[in-house]
Amino acid sequence: MTTVNRMHHKILAFTDIHIKSEGEKIVGYDPLERFETGLKHALKHHPDADHLILMGDLTHNGRPDQFERLKPLLKNLPLPVTLMPGNHDRRDTMLEAFPDLETTDSGHVMQVIDLDGQAPFGPKDRLICLDTLDGPPWRDYHHAGALCEARLNWLKTQLETAGDRRISIFMHHPPLHTGFNGMDAIRMMDHEAFYTLIKQYPNVTHIFAGHIHRTISGTANGIGFTIFKSPTHQMPMMLGTDGYAHSVPEPGAYGIILLSDEGVIVHSEDFDEATRHAVQGYDD
């Protein structure tokens, strides 16, 4: 639990990092270098952030050496970090590399983060980070997400015990259609059970996801959602297209979430393009 004396909590979110083995690239980039650049940018400009969440697809193939490449970047961070698995990860190799990760009784990598403002001011938030990785058993080219009964039961408990906290849910796979047919076919497939459950808890305010590699936001089933880009490779704007392996080197990004006393405010920062000197003399 983190206690802060402010009118908002600030969360930094990276998704779809896709670290490959030494020497391997995606769209011409080493994904590890892309994440390192984005993380340095985020830490420099947001030293007041309360928490860092890596929202799955930490690696491209779930290999032990790929998780090992991530480890040095997460050492001595000035803020707590939460790791979530995605469809490109493997839970067993992830836990071998990071044995201190919290797991549930069912062995899933899921965690609750409670953030308290100081009474009588400041919001009280609960962040629920889910593991939507479908497996084991591992099936080749199976990238869809799942929430089995054990995970849904765990989620129910976290919703029930949240009290008056506002709830944000983090999950790698979106539980909704985005209009990219190929990606929609590999969304979180237990979406009906998921929405039936969370709709019983009016404190659930927002869902954060990755997986698509594009900035997308809106509402689904009456609940707001935001999907963040990757730091490395993005989905081209080819709505309606089949397949899920389209990648373009559009600017990478990370998310900045302000959980304020007013609401949930979501920013996406294209860290390569970002500048902090406004154009002067703009007068008409």
50 counts as binding Fe ion under rule CB under 5 A: no
Of the candidate spans 55-63, 118-126, 191-199, 240-248, the one that interacts with Fe ion by CB under 5 A turns out to be 55-63
Encoded tokens for 158: 């976290």
Part in contact with Fe ion (CB under 5 A); list of ranges 56-64, 93-101, 102-110, 138-146: 56-64
Residues 190, 146 contacting (CB under 8 angstroms): yes
* Smallest gap from residue 230 Cβ to Fe ion (A): 6
Task: Pick the binder of Fe ion from 8, 9, 11, 16 (CB under 5 A).
Answer: 16
Q: How far is the CB of 218 from Fe ion (least distance, A)?
A: 20
Instruction: Give me the least distance between CB of 16 and Fe ion, in Å please.
Output: 4
Of residues 211, 116, 92, the one with CA closest to residue 165:
116
43-46, long-range: CB < 8 A, 24+ apart: 43/77, 43/78, 45/276, 46/10, 46/12, 46/256
CB 267 to Fe ion: min, Å: 21
Cβ atoms of 231 and 218 within 8 Å: the answer is: no
Retrieve residue 89's tokens.
Answer: 């990860």
- The residue (of 62 and 123) whose beta carbon lies closer to Fe ion is 62
Instruction: Output 116 or 270, the one with its CB closest to Fe ion.
Output: 270
Q: Give yes or no for residue 89 binding Fe ion (CB under 5 A).
A: no
Assess 57 for contact with Fe ion (CB under 5 A): yes
Nearer to Fe ion, 57 or 134 (CB): 57
Contacts of 126 (CB under 8 A, 6+ apart): 112, 113, 114, 115, 158, 162, 165, 166, 167, 168, 203
Candidate ranges 12-20, 62-70, 90-98, 106-114; the one touching Fe ion (CB under 5 A): 12-20
Strand ranges of the sheet holding 51-55, from the earlier edge strand across to the other edge: 81-84, 51-55, 8-14, 253-260, 264-270
Q: Nearest approach, Cβ of 280 to Fe ion (angstroms)?
A: 40
Size of the site for Fe ion (CB under 5 A): 2
Stretch near Fe ion under the rule CB under 5 A, chosen from 15-23, 39-47, 189-197, 238-246: 15-23
Rounded to a whole number of angstroms, the minimum distance from the CB of residue 68 to Fe ion is: 20
Per-residue HEC secondary structure of 147-205 comes to CCHHHHHHHHHHHHCCCCCEEEEECCCCCCCCCCHHHHCCCECCHHHHHHHHCCCCCEE
Which CB sits closer to Fe ion, 57 or 190?
Answer: 57
Stretch that binds Fe ion, among 10-18, 29-37, 132-140, 231-239 (CB under 5 A): 10-18
Instruction: Return the closest-CA partner of residue 143 out of 197, 210, 215, 194.
Output: 210
Residues that bind Fe ion (CB under 5 A): 16, 57
